[in-house]
Amino acid sequence: MARILVIEDETHIRANLLRFVRLEGHEAIEAADGAAGLQAAKDQIPDLIFCDVMMPQMSGMEVLAALQAEPLLKQVPFIFLSASAESERLEEALRLGASGYVTKPFNFAQLHAVLKQHLPA
């Protein structure tokens, strides 16, 4: 069982992601904004992070940059969630150290593939 952090400011999206994570048999940690997500990551050292790009307090890009400066957290797979499918944004996310990028609306098959790719069997 992996520990997965979901950082998402939209309540219904966060609830769906948390439900998915639990149905997959993993521990779900939630944060409603970037600052809370960064603190949760530092406190609980997740095995994978799903993070929205556009959020109050701290954007997903800022969260990723802060995590990249933390030796214990920079290796944690970081998957961006965003309604934007612009190639420039995807390239920037990957250049900054993101492990992947899922565009909204997403489906559970896409999320399952992310877990399979980034978590040990």
* Cα distance between residue 63 and residue 73, in whole Å: 11
Give the model's pLDDT for residue 109: 93
Give the model's pLDDT for residue 86: 65
* Cα distance between residue 17 and residue 86, in whole Å: 22
Answer yes or no: are the C-beta atoms of 77 and 49 closer than 8 Å.
yes
Q: Residue 56: left (phi > 0), alpha (psi -120 to 50), or beta?
A: beta
Give the model's pLDDT for residue 74: 93
Give the model's pLDDT for residue 57: 82
- The one-digit pLDDT tens for each residue of the chain (121 residues) are 999 999 999 999 999 999 999 999 999 999 999 999 999 999 999 999 999 988 888 999 999 999 999 999 999 999 999 877 666 777 788 888 999 988 888 889 999 999 999 998 7
> Can you spell out the DSSP letters for 13-75?
HHHHHHHHHHHTT-EEEEESSHHHHHHHHHHH--SEEEEESS-SSS-HHHHHHHHHT-TTTTT
- If one counts the domains in the chain, the total is 1
* Cα distance between residue 120 and residue 116, in whole Å: 8
Domain assignment of residue 109, given as a range: 3-118
CATH of the domain at 46: 3.40.50.2300
